[in-house]
Amino acid sequence: MKLLIIAGPPSAGKTAVVRQIISRFNPVSRCAYLKIDVVRAFEDKELYDEFKIPTKKIYSGDVCPDHVGILVMKDAVNWAEDNNADILIVESAGLCLRCSPYTTQSLGIAVLSAISGTNSPLKMSAMLALSDLAVVTRVDLVSQAEKEVFRERIKEVGRDLDIVETNALCGTGLRYLFRAIENQPEIEDLDKVVLRGNPPLGVCTVCVGKKEIGWENHFGVIRKLDSGDFFFRGD
């Protein structure tokens, strides 16, 4: 089975891209879909209704969704394999732009919108730099020059990044994404799958829902305003 991990800011067009992938590959290659989100997600139901493929969602609640994604990934691969899937598509919530949910033995796809501002590739550099391929959506809404400027900006983050520009509603231009998926090797050894990058410093008490402001009220990795260093405060 092949594993595709799709990340990107909310409303970037991740699900629109997933739809195009499913339309292209399913049912010759059976697709399964997992959505990881914080509080609400509808994609699993929508994609099930539309394509009748195995879908699943998981809420991460108070914890960073990308961290939860890592915890459940192995179970998810087993679930998809039990459902005879040839391709497992994992859509992340992509809220924390410091995280990068891609693993080894997967195709890491970053989705970003051409109208999200010229600095957005820089803001999500962790998510972009560790991906294999960046899909730029909504190119139907910008001029060609703007599209080329946006491409240049992405290149600043990842020189060798494969960039695919699309109107994700129609699937225009996605032939290069499809080719990358065709060429993607299957998962070889699930026990050896690891996170590609270094996750941001460990989960702190804010991540698990402690709301008081001020470092005095927190444990784990914390910092003060005027000392740029992070330090560890045990419980």
Partner 1 sequence: MIYQSLRFIIVMHNSEIMEITVLPGKNRNGGTENFRQITIRPGDTISIVGPTGSGKSAFINDIEMFAHEDTVTKRTVLVNGKMPPEEFIRDPSKKPIAMITQNTKCLADLTVESFLDMHIKSRKLSDPFVIEKTISLANEFTGEKIRKEARMTSLSGGQTRSLMVADAIVVSDTPVILLDEIENAGIFKEKVIECLKTHNKALLFVTHDPLVSLLSERRIVMKNGAVSDIISPGDSEKEALSEVLRMDSAMSLLRERIRCGELIKSIPVL
Q: Which residues of the shown chain bind Mg ion in the complex (CB under 5 A)?
A: 14-15, 43
Out of 2, 3, 14, 134, the residue judged to bind ligand GDP by CB under 6 A: 14
Considering only residues 48 to 67 of the shown chain, the ones binding Zn ion according to CB under 5 A are 64, 66
| Residue 117 binds which of partner 1, Zn ion, ligand GDP, none (CB < 5-8 A, kind-dependent) | partner 1
The verdict on 39 binding ligand GDP (CB under 6 A) reads: no
- Using the rule CB under 6 A, which residue among 104, 105, 167, 184 binds ligand GDP? 167
**Near partner 1 by CB under 8 A, which window of 27-35, 39-47, 101-109, 135-143?**
135-143
Q: Are strands 31-37 and 55-59 parallel, antiparallel or unpaired?
A: parallel
**Residues 176-205 interacting with partner 1 (rule: CB under 8 A):** 176
- From the number of C-beta atoms within 10 Å of its C-beta (0-12, 13-18, 19+), residue 152 rates as exposed
| Residue 97 C-beta: closest distance to Mg ion, Å | 16
Q: Which residues bind ligand GDP (CB under 6 A)?
A: 8, 10-16, 137-138, 140-141, 166-169
The residue ranges that bind partner 1 (CB under 8 A) are: 115, 117-119, 140-146, 148-153, 155, 163, 170-176
